[in-house]
Each structure stands twice: as structure tokens, then as C-alpha cells.
Amino acid sequence: MDVGIVGLPNVGKSTIFNALTAAGALAANYPFATIEPNVGVVAVPDPRLEVIHQFIKTEKIIPAALRVVDIAGIVRGASTGEGLGNKFLSHIREVDAVLHVVRCFAGGEVIHVEGSVDPVRDIETIDTELMLADLETVEASLDKTVRLAKSGDKEAIARAEVLRRAQESLAAGKPVRQLEFSPDERKAVRSLGLITAKKVLYVANVDESDLHGQGPLVAAVRDRAAKEGGGVVPVCGKLEAELAELDAADAAEMLAGMGLDEPALAALAREAYRLLGLQSYFTAGPKEIRAWTIPVGATAPQAAGVIHSDFERGFIRAEIYTLDDLKQYKTEPAIKAAGKLRAEGKSYVMKDGDITHFLFNV
């Protein structure tokens, strides 16, 4: 799963991307972390891993991770190829969700590309370009699909209806993500690669005087996001860039001095994870304690397949316990002796935080 960071030039997009992907420890565990200079891997902080480690000693702890793409900055006219418009649009079509960085502080040495700070206007600028690009895609597909639908092709009939609804929404200045679709219709939408169908999380780039995002500029972004069911995470890009350059002890001291429990980027990574509809289950042993990424609703065999396809193909059962079980009984043998180690079959739907062993045979 990939998330793309977008924003107008000079809003702090690349600063936040660089801070997000500055976790050098992850690169060792994820060798694809430097495939391209604009692609990084971001750890999803999860305190449950350390809790597990209190009871199960291990050689290493591996958190869940997301791939993040720093997409070329957009300007007015990007939908018609202005600036790096074509590159921007091709990259954003490939990601699964969008982190939209907006500037929510005045002043500073960097002048805003529009000459003033207005985050809602900035959101509308990018939304307009994306909707225009989507409208072009929809209209190019609609005529061909309608002709095919006239032949009685059921798939084309359904696709044509989705395209018509998308066309009406976009022409009215509303992104496709605001429409309600059935599961089958959503598949059709995904196949079209519509940019405005992707979920969006707004990243309010604040200054050090408004770390919790209580100021009027962030409030305006929250109001805008609420209208489309979106979320907002305030992040001080300047502070996060400074923290990313410190070792863990110095970073913790700096955060404590500012009354913060963790970097804002930790909350951002977790929110992006949820935005994508993802959750984690854990495996724990002497070699590693690891968070594995699965979609919400994944079954036990599907979760096993994330580790290795053989695990899914030869799945027998999953043996599962919870973090609360581990905290109460201290060890896996004690959990089993207490009858708390559950045996789950192929139909079991995984829950976030399940600690799991898979039994398989191939």
C-alpha cells in the first residue's frame, strides 16, 4: 500500500516527507526503501510491540511500515500539463491514498506561491486540478463504454452508470470520494484510476506556536475536511525535521521539554495506516517480534499469506491470544494452560492486535 504526499509548492511537503522517511533503522529491514529518491518507507509506531517485548525476549522488533511517495508539486494548470503536471498526475494515480499538506502558518522566510496563506484556497486549487483531470478521464471512457453497453454487455452497463455518476459529481465540483458506491461499483471506480476517488488525510503544517493545531487556519482545514468525512493531523514540519536529525535520547528530551509525548509524525503514520483500511497482527518469538499488515476484514488464511504464500495455501489453523492475555498470564505456556490460546479456522476474521501462530502443511 502506498500513500502519496501532495501539496502546492512551498507548503512544507518535502520537509515533512524527508522527516517521515528519515528513520534509518527501517531501511535495514526494508531493502526497497531507496528504490527511488522520492519513495520512502515509514514505520508505523505501535507501543504494543514494546509491551509484547516485556514478556517475550527477542533479537529484533519490526514495526509495520508504509511506502510513501513524494509527488511533484502541483500548480494551477497541472491538469493541462502546466509545471510538472503530467508527472504529478501519473504518480498520484498509482498511490492508494493521499496525504495533502497545507500550510497553516503565516510569516517565515518562504513566500507562499499564491502570495498569501489560505489553506482552504490551497485545498480547492489542488482539488480543482484533480477533478479536471478526472473529468477528462471519465469523459474519454464514457462514450466507449456507452456504445458497448448498448450491445447488452452487463459489465459495460454497470460501468457506464458509474461513469455517469462520476461525471455529474465532477462537473458539479465535487470529488468522486464523496459519492456512495456499492462494493461492485467501487471495483469499477478503482479500475478507472480516478484520483479524486482516493481517500485524503490533510496534514496541517503549523509553526511552533501552534503545535496542537488550535489556531484559526487549522480550524478552517478541519471544517473543510469534516464536510467530506476526512481527517486532519497538525504537524510542525520544521520541528519534525529537527527531531529527525537527533538520536532517540536527545529527541525524547526535546519532546519532553515541549510537553509532547511523541513526534507528530508518529500520529500521522498511524492515521495514514487507518486511512488505508489497514490493521496489524503480531508474531512473537526469540528471533523477532513483528507487526504484519493486513486489510481490515482479512481472514486467518489471508493473514498467513502475508508471511508466505505457502502459509495460506497449506493453512490448517491459527493459534491466537491477545495482548491482555499476555499481560495477565505472562507467558505463552501459561496462556495455553489457562485455556486462553484459541484455535481458529479458515473463516476466522482477524482482529487488530491478535498475537498469532499459524499451523500449515504443504
**pLDDT tens-digit map of 261-283:** 888 988 898 999 988 999 999 99
Asked whether residue 265 falls in the same domain as residue 353, the answer is no
**Same domain, residue pair 76 and 221:** yes
Which segments of 172-213 does DSSP mark as H helices, in order?
A: 183-192
DSSP run (H or E) holding 268: helix 264-275
325 and 335 Cβ atoms separated by less than 8 Å: yes
Report the run of H or E that residue 200 belongs to, with start and end: strand 199-205
Give yes or no: residues 232 and 304 share one domain.
Answer: no
Q: What is the domain count for the chain?
A: 2
| Residue 303 sits in the same domain as residue 267 | no
**Residue 88 within any structural domain of the chain:** yes
Max avg pLDDT among 196-200, 244-248, 332-336: 332-336
Looking at residue 287, its pLDDT comes to 96
What cell does 85 get?
A: 503536471
Averaged pLDDT, 331-352: 97
Name 32's Cβ contacts closer than 8 Å, sequence gap at least 6: 41, 67
Do 8 and 49 sit in the same domain of this protein? yes
Range from 52-56, 86-90, 198-202 carrying the lowest mean pLDDT: 86-90
Domain final residue pick, 275, 306, 332? 275
- Is residue 280, in this structure, part of any structural domain at all? no
Task: Give the best-scoring range by mean pLDDT among 186-190, 197-201, 227-231.
Answer: 197-201
Residue 281 lies in a domain: no
Long-range CB contacts (< 8 A, 24+ apart) of 321-329?
321/354, 321/355, 322/353, 322/354, 322/355, 323/48, 323/51, 323/52, 323/353, 323/355, 325/355, 326/51, 326/52, 326/55, 326/56, 326/355, 327/51, 327/55
- Evaluate whether residue 289 is within a structural domain: no
Torsion of CA 304, 309, 314, 317, to 10 degrees: 0
Segment 194-206 shows an average pLDDT of: 93
154 lies in the same domain as 225: yes
Residue 282 lies in a domain: no
CATH number of the structural domain spanning residue 167: 3.40.50.300
Do both 236 and 328 map to the same domain? no
58 and 133 housed in the same domain:
yes
Q: Which of 25-34, 58-67, 308-317 has the lowest mean pLDDT?
A: 25-34
pTM: 0.83
Rounded to whole angstroms, how far apart are CA atoms 148 and 298? 35
Cα dihedral: 265, 224, 82, 195 (round 10): 80
Residue range 342-349: average pLDDT?
97
Residue type at 186? R
**Domain extent for 234:** 2-275
Q: What is the pLDDT of residues 35-57, one digit of tens each?
A: 344 788 888 989 999 999 999 99
d(CA 290, CA 63): 6
Assess if residue 333 is contained within a domain. yes
Asked if residue 313 and residue 183 are part of one domain, the reply reads no
Q: Which tens digits make up the pLDDT trace of 206-250?
A: 999 999 999 999 999 999 999 888 899 999 999 999 998 888 899
Q: What is the pLDDT of residue 28?
A: 38
DSSP-assigned beta bridge partners for residue 222: none
**203 and 251 part of one domain:** yes
Residue 288 lies in a domain: no
pLDDT at residue 135 tops 50: yes
Average pLDDT over residues 321-343: 97
92 and 180 fall within a common domain:
yes
Q: What is the mean pLDDT of the chain?
A: 87
How high is the pLDDT of residue 25?
A: 37
Same domain (yes/no): 330, 211: no
Q: Categorize the per-residue pLDDT at 295 as very low, low, confident or very high, splitting at 50, 70 and 90.
A: very high
In a domain, 285, yes or no: no
For the cut 70, the answer to whether the pLDDT of residue 108 exceeds it is no
Confidence band (pLDDT; 50, 70, 90) for 21?
Answer: confident
